[in-house]
C-alpha cells in the first residue's frame, strides 16, 4: 500500500473530496435557510445568529480540507516509525 492510500484502496484525497461535496451541499442549505430566516420577523436575533456561526464553521472546515489536498500530485512524505509510535500513544494511550 502506498503512502496516502487507505486499506480500502481510497486515497486521502478521494476521502477528503468525498467529505467536501456533502459539506458544500450543507453550506448551500444553511445559506438559503439564513436568507429565509433573516426575512422572518418571528425569528429571534439569538436564533438568527446561530446560522452565520454554523456557516463560518463549515466554511473553515471546507477550506481546511481544500488546503490538505495534494494539489501538485507529488508523493506524500512518509512518516517515520518514531512519529507513528508517538501518534499511536497519543490516540490509544501508553499502555495500548
Every domain of the chain and the residues it spans: 12-70
Q: Is the model's pLDDT at 17 over the cut of 70?
A: yes
Among 51, 44, 48, 46, which Cα is nearest to 29's?
Answer: 51
**Per-residue pLDDT tens digits for 1-14:** 444 555 566 777 88
Band (pLDDT 50/70/90 cuts) for residue 76 is low
**Per-residue pLDDT tens digits for 21-60:** 999 999 999 999 999 999 999 999 998 999 999 999 999 9
Amino acid at each position: 500500500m502506498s503512502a496516502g492510500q487507505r486499506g480500502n484502496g481510497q486515497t486521502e484525497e478521494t476521502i477528503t473530496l468525498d467529505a467536501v461535496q456533502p459539506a458544500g451541499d450543507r453550506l448551500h442549505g444553511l445559506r438559503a435557510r439564513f436568507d429565509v430566516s433573516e426575512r422572518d420577523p418571528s425569528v429571534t436575533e439569538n436564533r438568527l445568529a446561530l446560522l452565520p456561526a454554523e456557516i463560518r464553521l463549515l466554511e473553515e472546515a471546507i477550506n481546511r480540507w481544500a488546503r490538505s489536498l495534494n494539489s501538485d500530485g507529488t508523493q506524500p512524505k512518509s512518516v517515520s516509525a518514531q512519529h507513528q509510535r508517538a501518534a499511536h500513544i497519543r490516540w490509544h494511550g501508553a499502555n495500548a
